[in-house]
Structure 1
Amino acid sequence: MSHDNVNHPKHYTTHPSGVECIQVTEHMSFCLGNVIKYIWRADEKGASIEDLKKARWYLDREIEKREAATNKGKE
């Protein structure tokens, strides 16, 4: 069976849970979904450190966004 790299990339569908990453991330904000996506596939693509750094970048961005919203409400 050939793999569909557009609709179901292998690194999105090989999680031991059998769940495809998008089934989880589509219920999240963009940044949090990307955090999960990069953590989810970190060991599947052979670039685990790079993917973990990308996850951290998106997490930091989400934290900054939420802090700004919190601080805006205090003004």
Structure 2
Amino acid sequence: MERENSELYLRNCQIIRENERLRKKAQRLNQENQALLSELKRKLAVKTAKRKPGFEVELGSNSASDQMEANKRQALE
């Protein structure tokens, strides 16, 4: 019984170490993910700022084809 308890204790210690290693890896991946998301948002904001204001898609009840036609008319003006 004591030998079994020792084996279980050692296995438990291994699991704890592995959990800690995986937790640290998850934190690093989350930080990397947040950094990439911030970079993507920044690039999207820059790209959006460079677009001509007349070509912005407006959200609303208009259909996509109506919006495309409106953009074409604006481009011809």
Task: Using structure 1 for the length normalisation, give the TM-score.
Answer: 0.39
> Is the radius of gyration larger for structure 1 or structure 2?
2
Larger relative helix fraction:
2
Task: Using structure 2 for the length normalisation, give the TM-score.
Answer: 0.38
